[in-house]
Amino acid sequence: MTAEKDFQERLSHLIQEEIARLKKENEELAKQIQLLEESTKELDRKSYNLFILYHASKTLGSHLEIEELHQIFVDMITEVMGVGWGLLYLVDEEHETLFLRKLKSIEVLDFPVSLKIGEGIAEWITGQSEIASFEKFKLNPLFLNAFPEIQKLNALYPNLIVPLIYKARFLGLLILGNKLDRSPFSENDLELLSTISSLAATAFMNAHLYEMAIRDSTTRLFVPRYFRQRLNEEIKRAKRYVKPISLAMFDIDNFKQINDFFGHLRGDQALVQISGIIRASCREDVDIPCRYGGEEFALVLPETDANGAYLVAERIRVAVENASFFGNNTRLTISCGVACYPHHASTLEELIENADRALYRSKKAGKNKVTIHNSSS
C-alpha cells in the first residue's frame, strides 16, 4: 500500500515537473513566434521602404525638366504619405520670397501664393532645419525669423513642414496636410519623407544646373553649344526617316544703333522681347529656338521644308514689326534667312552657312525680310 502511495506521489511529482517544463517550453516558443512576427514586420517595412525609395530615386533621377520634377515630387509625397494636400514652395532667384510652385489637393483650399523669407534664414538652416510638425516649427524662434509670414498658413491646419536643402543651400519648403485616415505620421513615414526629400533636392539642383548650362541667362533660349548638338541629332534623324529639316537664322536690324542710342539695358530688353516672340511662334518640345550670337537667333524646325519654315519665319518677322518696344512705341525689325536639309545642304555646317547666306541676302535687300536660300546664287 505504501509502495503504491509512494509511486502515486512520485508520478504526480513527475507529471507536475513535466507540465512545468512544457509550460516553460511553450512560453519560450511564444516568445520566439513573437520575435519572428516582429522581424517579419520589420522585413516587410524594409522591403516596402526599398520598393518606394528604389522607384523614387529612379523617377527623380531620370527627369531633367524642372516643372515636371516638381510635380512628380509633390504627387509622390502626397500619395506615399496618404495626405489630403501638399504644397511645394520654392525660393525665387533673389532668395527673398517663397512662391507656391506646385500643389496637390483633393479639396479646393485657399493657399497663399507666396511667403516672404526673413533675415533669419541662414541661421535657421544651420540650426534646426529637420522635418517637424507645423506646431513645433511655430514655437521655434529661428524658424519664425526665417519665415515671418508662416502664419498665413494657419487656417489650413498644416501638419508637417519638410525643408528642402541641398548642401546648406535652401531651396524651399514642402508643406503637408493631415493624413486622410487621420492617423499620426509614423517614424517610418518621417524616415521615408526625409530620404525622398533629399533625393528630390538633389534632383532639383541637377535640373537647375542643367537648365543653366543649356539656356542663355538673358533670353532663356538655348545656347549655341546645345543648338549644334541638337541640330546634329535632328539632321541624323531626318536622314534616317527621310524627312526635311529647316534652319531659320534671325538677326535684329540695326541692333548696334539701338544699343548706342538707348543703352545696353534697353538692348537686353529688346533681346528678351524678341526671344519671347520667337518662342511663342514655335512648336513646344519640337522646334529648338536658340540665341546664336549677340543679336542673332537660330530656330531649328524638324520635319519642316523650306516653305513651311518660311511661313514660320515670316510670322515672326511680322510679329516683331508690329510689336511696340520699351513701352514708348519704339519699332524694331528683324531679318531672316532659311535653309533646308537635304535640299540646300548635306551637312550641319553647310546648313548653317546657307541659312546665314540667305540672312545676308535679306540684309542686303533692305532688311525686315525673310529669304530662302537659293542654291544657284
Partner 1 sequence: MNLNKKRVLVVDDAMFMRILLKDILTKLDFEIVGEASDGEEAILKFQNLKPDLTTLDLTMPKMDGLETLKAILALDPNANVIICSATGESDKVQKALELGAKNFITKPFNPNKVSEILKRYA
Nearer Cβ to partner 1 (189/253): 189
Query: What strand order describes the sheet that includes 160-166?
Result: 114-116, 97-105, 85-91, 169-176, 160-166, 132-133
Residue 296 as a binder of partner 1 (CB under 8 A): the answer is no
Contact 315, 338 (CB under 8 A): no
Q: Kindly tell me which of 200 and 301 has the beta carbon lying closer to partner 1.
A: 200
Contact call for residue 160 and partner 1 (CB under 8 A): no
Q: Which stretch binds partner 1 (CB under 8 A): 41-49, 166-174, 227-235, 337-345?
A: 41-49
HSE toward the beta carbon, residue 279, CA cutoff 13 A:
12
Rounded least distance, CB 34 to partner 1, Å: 20
Q: If you search the block for the grid coordinates 531651396, which residue do you land on? A: 171
The least CB distance from residue 58 to partner 1, in Å, is 8
Residue 83: CB atoms within 10 A of its CB come to 22
Q: Which stretch binds partner 1 (CB under 8 A): 53-61, 120-128, 237-245, 254-262?
A: 53-61
* Cα–Cα distance for residue pair 361/359, rounded to 1 Å: 5
Q: Does 61 bind partner 1 (CB under 8 A)?
A: no
For partner 1, give the closer residue by CB, 22 or 180.
Answer: 180
Q: Smallest distance from the beta carbon of 75 to partner 1, in angstroms?
A: 4
Smallest distance, Å, CB 157 to partner 1? 16
Binding partner 1 by CB under 8 A: which of 11, 16, 18, 51? Answer: 51
7 near partner 1, judged by CB under 8 A? no
Closest-CA residue to 110 (of 148, 163, 71, 154): 154
Distance CA 198, CA 349 (A): 44
Q: Indicate whether 65 belongs to the interface with partner 1 (CB under 8 A).
A: no
Distance CA 202, CA 194 (A): 13
- Give the C-alpha separation, 199 to 52, whole Å: 12
179 binds partner 1 (CB under 8 A): yes
Give the one residue of 52, 100, 109, 190 binding partner 1; rule: CB under 8 A: 52
* C-beta of 45 vs 152, nearer to partner 1: 45
Mention every residue, 6+ apart, whose C-beta is less than 8 A from residue 221: 215, 275, 278, 279, 289, 290, 291, 297
Q: Does 188 bind partner 1 (CB under 8 A)?
A: no
Asked if residue 41 binds partner 1 (CB under 8 A), the reply is no
CB-based burial, 275-307: b 16+ in 10 Å, e otherwise: bebbeebbeeeebbbbbbeebbbbbbbbbbbbe
Question: CA separation (Å) from 256 to 2, 26, 273?
Answer: 129, 94, 17
H or E stretch covering 259:
helix 255-262
Q: Contact region for partner 1 (CB under 8 A) — 47-55, 242-250, 268-276, 320-328? A: 47-55
Exactly one of 1, 108, 110, 182 binds partner 1 (CB under 8 A); that residue is: 182
Cell 516643372: give the residue: 67
The smaller minimum CB distance to partner 1, of residues 59 and 368, is found at: 59
Asked if 81 interacts with partner 1 (CB under 8 A), we say: yes
Check binding of 186 to partner 1 (CB under 8 A).
no
Query: Where do we find the cell 528678351?
Result: 272
Q: Rule CB under 8 A: say whether 76 interacts with partner 1.
A: yes
Stretch that binds partner 1, among 67-75, 198-206, 352-360, 365-373 (CB under 8 A): 67-75
Least distance (Å) between residue 78 CB and partner 1? 8
From the list 147-155, 177-185, 201-209, 358-366, the region that binds partner 1 by CB under 8 A is 177-185
Residue type, 235: I
* 163: nearest Cα among 143, 184, 192: 143
CA 235 – CA 200 distance, rounded (Å): 35
What is the total count of residues that contact partner 1 (CB under 8 A)? 24
Note whether 47 binds partner 1 by CB under 8 A.
yes
User: Which residues make up the interface to partner 1 (CB under 8 A)?
Assistant: 44, 47-48, 51-52, 55-56, 59, 71-72, 75-76, 78-82, 104, 106, 179-183
